[in-house]
Amino acid sequence: YYQIAVLGYGTVGSGVVEVLDTNKESIKKRAGEEIHIKYVLDLRDFPGSPIENILVHDFETIINDPEVKIVVEVMGGVEPAYTFSKRALEAGKSVCTSNKELVARHGLELIEIAKAHKVNYMFEASCGGGIPIIRPLNSSLTADEIDEITGILNGTTNYILTEMGDRYADFDEVLKEAQEKGYAERNPEADVEGYDACRKIAILSSLAYGAHVNYENIYTEGITRITAEDMKYASLLGMKVKLLATSKRKGEKFYAMVCPELVGKNSPLYSVNGVFNAIFVHGNVLGDAMFYGSGAGKLPTASAVVGDVVDCAKHQGKTVVTYWSSKVLDQVDIKDVEHRFFVRVKGNLQKDKEKIEVLFGKAEFISVPGLDNEFGFVTEMMSEGTFDEKAAALPEILGRIRIRA
């Protein structure tokens, strides 16, 4: 059988152990041989747990064991995951991971190291949890020139926005509930500020466009400034607020951004609610496709990790081509990206309408019954740069949300 080691016995690590046990027989048939966990590495002890007897605290035990051919890295964070992954690959062991921080930061380098040692670095679980998206981009959609990826790539924020929209509740209140229910972390910053979605769209874009996208160069805006009032306007507009991570071709260049957007009923992303994720892809010959499913959680994420383990087992001694070039993707300045904008302002619709039309040109006005000292309007398509200039001339702007065309 194939001997593997699992680094980290947290949520995903224990999920991997469980999946390999639950589906032992079917996995064996698909992999050709049984996949057997020889070691689990963790700093903690787990007395009475199923891994009690295979638990080790020292990575050297794993790296020095030639029987271990595949290492599952589900520790999270950059270090020591980076050092361990690198050393495992250099020692001729394939590595499968769910670690999006690490893949976004060092994926390119780790793929190169894997290639040099005729092993694999696989990371299906790093984006969209259990949803197959890395493998489709790597192998199923290779006939296409991809020109757009738009994803709801974070379950925590999609849950929060869905709840806020359903009940017109405020962000802070729903975040607190989500934390109590375990849908949001105690430190929710990476999720609610959009950093997690940013790393994931950087990974997906690098694979889709065959050029490296540095996540630090992606404009990122989270959901912390979205309010219950915004949700009332959204519902009058027949739209929903979603945290979208987008990368899109614009002429010969691309742009990537993460921000809350208003999405209408004609978009397939409109119906992606709660903790679910979805990734919409447009290819020049494929047309539209959307991948939908469980984007987080123990078993869905473990399912993707174990799928990679099986793939590594089937490709011993051979590197599956992952096209992630070191050439940096040519990005458009965000100021030139065009959207329609929904804007909320303080004031009186009848009195201020003309002033806004002078400034913004044609606009669609909207007021919400019960919200008396404010109103909203929707602009025509305009660039971010133009919008910012015009918005600076508005005296009391309460908020603005981009609208998905």
Q: Which residues bind ligand HSE (CB under 6 A)?
A: 129, 154-156, 191, 196, 295-296
Closest among 64, 83, 61 to 73, alpha carbons compared: 83
200 counts as catalytic: yes
Nearer to ligand HSE, 204 or 363 (CB): 204
Q: How far apart are the first and last CA of the chain?
A: 52
Report the distance separating Cα 45 and Cα 57, nearest Å.
9
Q: How far is the CB of 323 from ligand HSE (least distance, A)?
A: 23
Q: How far is the CB of 42 from ligand HSE (least distance, A)?
A: 20
Q: Two tokens at 298? A: 């123990």
Q: How far is the CB of 149 from ligand HSE (least distance, A)?
A: 16
DSSP 8-state assignment for residue 126:
G
Per DSSP, helices labelled H in 288-380 are 298-314, 349-360
Nearer to ligand HSE, 203 or 239 (CB): 203
**Residues in the chain, overall count:** 405
Catalytic residue (choose from 200, 240, 242, 248):
200
- CA-based R_g, the chain, Å: 23
Q: How far is the CB of 154 from ligand HSE (least distance, A)?
A: 4
Report the distance separating Cα 116 and Cα 108, nearest Å.
13
DSSP 8-state assignment for residue 321:
P
Closest among 54, 53, 59, 57 to 44, alpha carbons compared: 57
Nearer to ligand HSE, 101 or 229 (CB): 101
Nearer to ligand HSE, 99 or 322 (CB): 99
Say which residue the tokens 């079917």 belong to. 26
Residues assigned a catalytic role: 200
